[in-house]
Structure formats: C-alpha cells, structure tokens
Amino acid sequence: MNRSTPRVALVGAAGHGTHHLRTISRLAAAGRVELAALCDPRPVLEPPAGVPVFPDHRAMLDQVRPDIAVVSTPPHTHLPIALDLVAAGADLLLEKPPVATLAEHETLAAALADAGRVAQIGFQAQGSHAVATLRHSIAEKRLGEVRGIAAAGTWIRPDSYYARSAWAGRRRHEGRPVLDGALVNPFAHTLMLGLALVTPAVPVSIELERYRCREIEVEDTACLRVHFDTGPALLVAVTLCAPTAREGDIVVHGTEASAVLEYPTDRLAFTPPGAARPGGAAESPPAGRADLLENLLDHRRDPAAVPLLVPLEATRTFTILAEAVVAAPRPVRVPASSTREHGTGPARTVELTGVDAAVTAAAGRLAMFHESGAAWARPAITVPVGTPPSGSLRFADPS
C-alpha cells in the first residue's frame, strides 16, 4: 500500500456500520484507502484479514492513528468520540444526526477549525443527483414561486424496533440527550432533504405536534411546520405507526408546477411533466448518488476544487430544529381508541387510525394534522427556536 494512501478506521463496525465497511472495503480494493482498524464493543462478524479490531476508539488510538475515521455509533456518543478522533488528527465521516445540541455543534466546529480537520455528515441523500436537479429547478423558478415545501413519510415499526438498544425511544441516556424521535432520527434524512431546498434556511418559528402510540418517551408520529425569515415554510409529517409504508417523499408546491422527490429511490417527477424545463420535457437527473466517503477523499486531495457535500456547517439548522424538538414537552399519548394492534410479541405493530390520510393531507395542503381534521390530533404548540445560523444552508452539488 502506498504510504500516501489514507488510512481509514471504522468506529462502530457492527450493526449499521457494516454498510460503511462494505464501502471502505470497496475503496480499499481499488487502492484508494487502507482499512486501518475496526472498533466496536460488540462482536464484529468476519472482519477483513489482518485488520485489528478494538473494543473502543481510545484503545484504537493507543495503537493506530487514522487519517479518516468513519463514526457509526449511537447519536448521543458522537461528540466525545469525534473530539478524540479530531484531536488525534483524523478527518471525519460522522453519521447522522451529528450532535444533539447547538452547543455541541459549536464545540465540534471549533475543534475541527483548531485542528485543521473537516467533518462530512452522513446525510447520504444529499449526494443524490436528483436533489441537485430539484434545487436547480427551484433556483431557476421553473416551478414558479415556491409556496411551500412538504416532507412526508409513513413507516411501520414493530415493538422490536424499540428494543434494539437501551437508548431507543428515550429522551436521555447515560446523562445525555438522545435523538431518537421520529423527526430527528428515523426521518432525519427526510427533514434534511426538506431543509436542503429552503433558501435561506434561517428558522424564526416552529409549530409542532408530537404523538406517541406506545409507552415511549419520544414521538412516533409528528407534524412540524417551520417558518423562516424569508421564503416558503417547510412542513414535515411523519409516523412510525402506519398501515402502509411510504419511505419519505419531498413535495414542492410552486405557483406554476409542483415536484415530488421520492426517497430513497431518488425518482423525481414534475406536474405538469414539462414544467421543469420551459418549452421542453422535464429534466431527467443523472441516476444515482455521489458517495460521501469518496467525496471526502476527493476533497482531501483538492479542497478548493471539490467541496464537501455535507460539511458540518450545513447541518447547523438541522441541529437547531432537533434540539427544539427534543426540548419540547412530552408527546401527547394517543388514546387506545384511536389505535389498532397487529401481531404479538416483538413483531407487534401499532397502527394509528387514519394516519396515512393525515400525512397525505398534510403534505398536499401544507397543513398540520389538527388543521386536516385528524380525530386524534391536538392543536400545535409553538416551540422556541435557538440562535439561528449566520447564513443560509449551503450544500455542494454532487453532479
């Protein structure tokens, strides 16, 4: 291996980390990186031959100093791990959500600046070429003036989902805030996709409805409407208690046309079909996504020519909203009369009556659940917004 080849460590190699391990292994086979170490307190199944495995990142740093660290650990552990790795000289690919609070965000940003290091955040949907096409269509006013942007998702999660870890469904764990509500963890990509289309993204007020259909501490169903200092509002309607699955669509309502971006397939459709290109057919974005680790490698080689797709600063507004949601009053417990149970044991699911229609209506009308007439809905609360970022969100174009 060329000594100039970046050495990559994977912290959190079991569970979701196996997806990162496949990417790192592919890049190692192509000679672009060297897999230097794996870390996880859990057993790592079939680690690559010759690659050391450590129980935690501190034990690893005693023996290995990676150039890049991929961090795929529970969200509430991100900051202390990231700070240690940055101090040791590593650039980061840090899984989403990056940190729990704006103060943590600023602490990590300062550490990166002091060490001359960078962090790419694992919102992989931001590498979608379809997202770049949609942003361009909005900027060129090919949909007319944007009246509002909605994000909608309906997932089905069994009881085993909340038994996956000690922090699942909790507000705090081991003295730290946990980001595991529907808005900021399972549907974090959906929220971030919506934010990517709002320019400038400086929130000034938040309306929030949070519900729980189980004995958990966070929401499994929610509707969020964010108003910004300029531009359209963003509405996010999501649930983990649906009878049917809808991964997470983004709907852009324009005065001349509308657009729907489907997650995670990245299919992009315009209504009417020719609206995205005046006088012609709708734009067809290139297929696929730019890989975040490859983008980080390219950025390290030529920072001026290759911007990061999702630098830490691009997630500041996400963190402001996540902190506001987590700090809000406990979710409303939905009465049993509005739910139905299916199955038993770990496979049991809880269906919220009418939630599919409520999510669809919210995205179509840019309306909160209680404005759409859902029988179990309650009026939204207004949530204080933290210190806004100094400027708009900026994302690199993956094309």
Q: pLDDT by residue (tens digit) across 140-189?
A: 999 999 999 999 999 999 999 999 999 999 988 888 888 899 999 999 99
Q: Does the pLDDT value for residue 355 go beyond 50? A: yes
Average pLDDT over residues 326-333: 94
Per-residue model confidence (pLDDT) at position 56: 95
Rounded to a whole number, what is the distance in angstroms from the first to the last CA of the chain? 30
Q: CA 263, CA 230: separation in Å to the nearest integer?
A: 26
Confidence of residue 281 (pLDDT cuts 50, 70, 90): very low
Tell me if residue 116 falls in helix, strand or coil.
coil
Phi and psi angles of residue 124, each rounded to the nearest 5 degrees, phi first: -65, -25
* Extended strands (E) in 27-145: 34-39, 53-54, 68-71, 91-94, 119-121
Omega of the bond leading into 389 within 30 degrees of 0 (cis): no
Element (H, E) at 332: strand 332-333
Element (H, E) at 237: strand 233-239
Average pLDDT over residues 104-108: 97
Confidence of residue 388 (pLDDT cuts 50, 70, 90): very low
Per-residue model confidence (pLDDT) at position 391: 40
Q: For each of the domains in the chain, give its residue range(s) and CATH number, in order of start.
A: 7-124 (3.40.50.720), 129-283+312-383 (3.30.360.10)
Residues 210-220 pLDDT 10s? 999 999 999 99
Going by the DSSP 8-state scheme, the letter that residue 62 receives in this structure is T
- Give me the percent of the chain exceeding a pLDDT of 70: 91
Mean confidence (pLDDT) of the chain: 92
Q: Does the pLDDT value for residue 342 go beyond 50? A: yes
